[in-house]
Structure 1
Amino acid sequence: MMKNFATGLLLCFQFFTAIPVKKQLPLTAKSVTAMYANMPFLGLLMGVTSICIIQINEHFFHFSTLLLAILLIITSIIITGGLHVDGLIDTGDAFFSYKDQQKRLDILDDPRVGAFGVLTIVCALLLKLGFFYEALTRDVHLFYFIAIPLLARLAMLFYFVTMKTAKTTGLAAYFKGLVNAKQILLICTLFLLVLLGVAIYFGQWNMFILALFMLVIIVLYRHWTKKNFGGMTGDLLGALYEGTEIILWAMLLLFI
C-alpha cells in the first residue's frame, strides 16, 4: 500500500507539475489510482507554498501587495509547469470558435494558440491578480490560500471520475480507463470532510459555502462540457481548475 502511495505521488509530480521526476514508473490501475488520489496533496503543496511566500515577504522583503500577488501567480504557474493555464487557453480557443463539437475537439488538440485563447488567459490572470490583491489587502485568513486550491483540485477529481471522456484517445481517456472511480470519490470526500473540520477549528464558516458552491460548479461544468464538447478532455480539466479557483475567490471576496 505504501509502495503504491509513493509511486502515485511520484506520478502526480511527473504528470501534473514541473518538478523533475526522472524515473520510469509503472502505469497500472493501482498506480494511476494512487496518482489521482495524491492530487489533493498537490493542492496542499501549492497552498502551503503561497503561505510561505506571504510570510517570507512579511518578515524579510516587504514587497508591495501588487508585486506579492504577481509572485504568487507566477509561482503557481511554475509549480504546475503552466499545465492548467494551457488547458484554459485551449478551451477558450475551442469554445469561442463557435464551431460544432468535433471541430472544437480538433481545436483542443491543435498546439497553436489563437486570439480567443490569449484573451481568455489574459482575462483569467487579471481576475486572479485582482482577487489575490484584494485578499492580501483585506488580510483574508491564510487558510483560504490552502483551501481554495485544494477545493479546485477536488473539483477536478469529482469531475474526472463522474464524467465520460469526449475522445477515446489521449491521456485523460487512458487514465480514465485505469482509475478506480470509487476509491477516488471516497478519498475526495474524506479530504473535503477534513478541510471542513479544519475550517471549523479556525472558525471559518464561509468554507461551507465555498464547498457547496464548488459542487454547484461541477454540476454546471458537466452540463456545459457535455453540451459543447461531448464530454471531458485533459484541457477541460485544466480549465476547470483555473476557473474554479477564480470563481471561489470571487465568491469569498465579493458575495460572502
Structure 2
Amino acid sequence: MSKLKNAGIGFLLAWQFFSFVPIKKQLDMNKSSITWMYASLPLVGLIIGAILSSCANLLVSYSDLSYVLVAILLVVGMIVFTGGLHVDGFIDLCDAFFSYGDKKKRLQVLDDPRTGAFGVLGVVVLILLKFGFIYEALEQGRFEMLVFIAAVPYVARVGMLMYFVSMNTSKQTGLAAYFKGQVMTKQLIVTSVVMFALLSVGAVYIGLYSFFILVAVMLFAVVLYRNWSYRNFGGMSGDLLGALGESLEVVLWLVVLLCI
C-alpha cells in the first residue's frame, strides 16, 4: 500500500511541478514519491495532449474557426498547461548560449531571472515554428494529426526523462541537483520502461506505427542535445531540461508534417 500511495503522490507532484494545475495539498516528498514524480512526467504530457486533442477535434468538427485560429489556440494551450515553465527554460537557454561566454559565464546567465534580447528572439522563433508546423498539418486535411497532438507531448517528455536520468547536473545546487540526488535511478528506469512498453502496445493496437518514427527521432535528438549541453554547459539543469522539452516538440511536429 505504501508503494501505491507513493505512486499517487508522485503523480500529483508531477502535476504540481510540471503543469499549471493547482494541487492545493501538502504532499510528502521522499525518494519514492520523487521517483514516481519523474516517472509520471510522460503521462502528464500524454494527458495534456489528449485534452488539447479533444478540444481541437471539437473545434475542427463543430465550429467555423479557421485552422489558423485552431493552431494558435493549441500552441497557447500547450504553454498554459505547462505554466510556461518549459518556455521559460528555453528563453534562459537562448540568453545563456548566445552570451558567447565560457561555461561559467553561461551558467551565470542561465541563473539570471532577467530576460535578454536573445531569449525574446528565441522564443518568438520557437512559437512561430510550432504554430506553423501544426497549422500546416491541419491545413493539409490530416485530421488524423489530432492523434499526434497527444503523442508529441508524450514522446517529448520521454526524451526529457531520458536526458534527466542519463546526465549529471552542471552544478551541485538547485532543484535539478536536489531531485537528481533523491531519485532512485533503477526504479525510475524500470517503471518508465514498463509504462513506455504499455503505451507502445497501445500504439500498435490502434495501428499507429508512425509513433515509433517519432521515438527514433527523439532518441537521436536527445543524444545530440546531451553532447551539446555537456560541451557548452557542463551538464544538466532545470532550464536545459525544459528547453529540451520545447525543442523536441518542434522537431517532432516537423517530423509529423514531413514524414508521416
TM-score (norm 1): 0.96
| Cα distance in structure 1, aligned partners of 2:64 and 2:5 | 43
Equivalenced residues, count: 256
Paired letter, 1:2: L
What is the match of residue 132 of structure 1?
A: 134
The C-alpha deviation readout for 1:191-227, integer Å capped at 9, x for no partner, is 3323332332232322222111111111111100000
What is the match of residue 158 of structure 2?
A: 154
What is the match of residue 62 of structure 1?
A: 64
Cα pair distance change 1:222/1:140, threshold 3 Å:
farther
Instruction: Give unpaired runs (5+ residues) of structure 2.
Output: none
What is the match of residue 48 of structure 1?
A: 50
Answer yes or no: is 1:205 the counterpart of 2:209.
yes
The C-alpha deviation readout for 1:218-239, integer Å capped at 9, x for no partner, is 1111100000000000000000
Identity %: 50
Per the TM alignment, residue 5 of structure 1 is displaced from its structure 2 partner at its CA by: 1.4
Answer yes or no: is 1:106 the counterpart of 2:105.
no
Q: Secondary structure at the match of 2:24?
A: coil
What is the match of residue 23 of structure 2?
A: 21
What is the match of residue 12 of structure 2?
A: 10
Instruction: Give unpaired runs (5+ residues) of structure 1.
Output: none
4+ residue stretches of structure 1 with deviation over 3 A? none
Cα pair distance change 1:140/1:182, threshold 3 Å:
farther
Answer yes or no: is 1:243 the counterpart of 2:242.
no
Higher mean displacement: 32-41 or 172-181 = 32-41
Q: Secondary structure at the match of 2:250?
A: helix
Paired letter, 2:172: T
Answer yes or no: is 1:193 the counterpart of 2:226.
no
TM-score (norm 2): 0.94
What is the match of residue 75 of structure 1?
A: 77
Higher mean displacement: 186-195 or 146-155 = 186-195
